[in-house]
Amino acid sequence: MQLSDSFFKSRKLVDLVENQTSYELEDSAMHIFETHQRAERVQLQFGTPVLASMFQGKKVMHLRDKPSFEFLPGESLILPADELMCIDFPEAREDDPTRCLAMEIGEDRLKGVVQFMNDRMTRSDGQEWNILDYNFHFTNDLGIYQILQRLVYLYTENHPSKDFFVSNMVQELVVRILQANVRKTYQQNAKKLSGSKRLAFVVRYIRENIQHPLSIKELSDKACMSESNFYKIFKQEMGISTTDFINEERINAAAQFLKDPSTDLTEIYLACGFTNRSYFNRMFKRLKGISPSDYRRRFN
């Protein structure tokens, strides 16, 4: 993710650890933190719910009731109000700083978006949308990545309609994050939930048949829905299309196979449902950011 030229022109570098540049609007704020030297156990806390998203470098996060974990570029984290973060910066250098975005979104704003979703976006399981599980750590999908990139530009732009532009983007961001939370819940608990939730059953079916061609007709039959309704409900709840989700599952399966250096690349892409090596390579790089060969070298 790129920071805008206007950010670098206006920001003042005062601190080497967690130097903060802030932009505040009516019901949200964006902070960009930069760290230029190694540091450990740096504490940070916000009074409102926060979306943190990594731009560059690596952090090690220590949060309450959660094992320590690495926080890497392309990943985001949702934190509740008043959550005390304790952060290590193991790789930060003056010529290669760690950079992270933190967006504060007011509770009333969050509740308003959730109410909008419950009014307009009925879920297949009959449950209501709720403010998501906090300490939700996830990889940005393409939609979330593009919104964050746009928000960085909007916050740092000097435009008279900035509040209006940002407000619309924040609403879309919250919707997409709630959808990503549902998607991750189904992915992590597909087996347990498949007996009571139709989309969880479909997720489990996709995983168990990942090596075979999978059609919307086949999956909609498994969900006991028409094709058009299944396509609409799936994207509405999961935040991505059925085809994109299948490709994501196939690439995740391939990534696990690649950790075994003895497995042939041709065997891997065929076992994950791809029939074309070049398409597999393109899809892997699009979703993981590097080629399958480079990914394998990273683990070996």
pLDDT at 132: 66
The SS3 of residue 287 is helix
Residues 172, 35 within the same domain: yes
Structural domain harbouring 266:
189-299
What's the CATH number where 215 sits? 1.10.10.60
Residues 266, 278 within the same domain: yes
Q: Are 101 and 57 in contact (CB under 8 A)?
A: no
Give the separation between CA 266 and CA 284, rounded to whole angstroms: 14
Residues 166, 46 within the same domain: yes
Q: Are 216 and 242 in contact (CB under 8 A)?
A: yes
Residues 98, 211 within the same domain: no
Residues 33, 112 within the same domain: yes
pTM assigned to the model? 0.82
pLDDT at 37: 96
pLDDT at 31: 96
pLDDT at 128: 87
pLDDT at 5: 74
pLDDT at 133: 64
Residues 233, 162 within the same domain: no
pLDDT at 283: 92
Residues (pLDDT < 70) of the chain are 1, 132-133, 300
End-to-end Cα, the chain, rounded Å: 27
